[in-house]
Amino acid sequence: MNFKRNAAVLGVVAVGAMTLAACGSDNNSASSGTTVNSAASKATCEGKESLSAAGSSAQKNAMDNFVATYIAVCKDKGKDVKIAYNPTGSGDGRTQFIAKQVDFAGSDSAIKGDQATAAKDRCAASDAWNLPLVFGPIAIAYNLDGVQGLTLNAEVLAKIFTGAITTWNDPAIAALNSGVSLPNEKITPIVRSDSSGTTDNFQQYLTAASKGAWTKGAGSDFVGGVGEGAKGSAGVSQAVAGAPGSITYVEKSFADQNKLSTAKIDSGSGGVALTGETAGKAIEGAKFKNDAVGDMTLDLNSIFATSEPGAYPIVLATYEIVCSKGYDADTAAAVKSFLTSAANEGQTGLAEQGYVTLPGTVQDKLNASIAAIAAIG
């Protein structure tokens, strides 16, 4: 079976179904059921009618919300719009963007290196920008009968995902879970089999926070050397749901959907459960690699290596990769309009889906960067 093709088709069907529902509805509501105030929206709904995008499966649920909200806003302005987003994985999204197969890409990792150079060619000699629309906490989801509220840390996670710790009652896990009865059961790591920004962020977290226990490096492909593979965020979460003794890294929204137990993370001040508030506390300390208007690539070590009490540190930034300049006028107008809606009214309801809504300082910088996107000529 061609899983990549099926994932793309499912993504189109999901967004298409939402498009039909929104267009046929008398009340303008986003996918969360929240009413949209179209009059307050700064989206112009100008430019070409249809936009295409592909990439991160982690942001798929957020993208559904953005699309439904944008359709509702534009309907009130007397315009019909269409957004086709295929959750084929961050690596594939970047590849399609470079090849001019989509108007923008969704990615949980910033475009960089050779890909950034190739994207510059795609963008008529202008840079591609990484614009974070949603912060998505990465849950450490596990399936362990009778064990709730498990606490882990970066060092233990590094050893689990390299095969140095293989059973749930290992002394290193027991030391973090005093009073908890841990079974003498094999640990089965479940990892992403496809190129994934979630994998990249998880491995960056292990690199930054595991005190040298993770020496494998990072990147969009899993490099730990152990584990069973599954495709996409839905794939790994469903695999854990069906496999006792298993553990994975996956966006909170997918862990919630599959009713998976999630671990607390100890960064030195005790176990911290994953909530919007605890993830938001980590994000408050985030720094950008560039303070100017434009590219908004984050210095993720400022999040991953935080020792702030009460902060949950495993948080990825979901980027939209766009041309800073290089679109034709109609495409530039449509991209700016959609992203403007997503960065503002589109944020409503994201917290209920397991994401962290944009902090005000990030939102202000994002709006300025979106406004700076320009057409050729």
Q: What is the pLDDT of residue 196?
A: 85
**pLDDT at residue 313 above 80?**
yes
Q: What is the pLDDT of residue 100?
A: 97
pLDDT, residue 9, reads 33
pLDDT band at 34 (very low <50, low <70, confident <90, very high): low
What would the mean pLDDT of 46-51 be, rounded to a whole number?
97
Q: Are residues 156 and 90 in the same domain?
A: no
At 287 the pLDDT is 85
Mean pLDDT of the 334-339 span: 98
User: Across all residues in the chain, what is the average pLDDT?
Assistant: 89
Mean pLDDT across 21-36? 43
Model confidence at 209: pLDDT above 60:
yes
Residues 110 and 156 grouped into a single domain: no
Q: Is the same domain home to 174 and 246?
A: yes
pLDDT at 152: 98
Is 8's pLDDT higher than 60?
Answer: no
Domain annotation covers residue 200: yes
Of 281, 310, 331, the residue that ends a domain is 281
The verdict on 82 and 30 lying in the same domain is yes
Share of the chain above pLDDT 70, in %: 90
Q: What is the CATH number of the domain that holds 233?
A: 3.40.190.10
The answer on pLDDT for 74 being more than 60 is yes
pLDDT at position 35:
67
The enclosing H or E element of 208 equals helix 197-209
Q: Based on the structure, what is the number of domains in the chain?
A: 2
Q: How far is CA 31 from CA 50, 79, 137, 218, 349, in A?
A: 20, 19, 20, 34, 8
- Do 176 and 232 lie in one domain? The reply is yes
Kindly state whether residue 299 falls inside one of the protein's structural domains: no
Contact of 75 with 19, CB cutoff 8 Å: no
Contact yes or no for 370/334 (Cβ under 8 A): no
Q: Where among 281, 306, 329 does a domain terminate?
A: 281
State mean pLDDT over 334-342.
98
Asked if residue 68 and residue 23 are part of one domain, the reply reads yes
One domain for residues 54 and 98:
yes
pLDDT of 7 strictly over 50: no
> 173 and 74: one domain?
no
Q: Give the closest residue to 166 by CA, choosing from 188, 141, 143.
A: 188
- Of 28-42, 141-155, 271-285, 339-353, minimum mean pLDDT range: 28-42
Range 16-35 average pLDDT: 39
Q: Please give the residue that has the higher pLDDT: either 25 or 172.
A: 172
Tens of pLDDT, residue by residue over 105-130, are 999 889 999 999 999 999 999 999 99
pLDDT of residue 165: 98
Measured CA to CA, the distance from residue 309 to residue 136 in angstroms comes to 20
Domain span including residue 202:
138-281
Of 8, 200, 199, 195, residue with least CA distance to 92:
195
Average pLDDT over residues 87-100: 94
| 143 shares its domain with 114 | no
- Asked if 15 and 118 sit in the same domain, the reply is yes
Say if 159 falls within a structural domain: yes
Q: In Å, how far from its chain's centre is CA 339?
A: 16
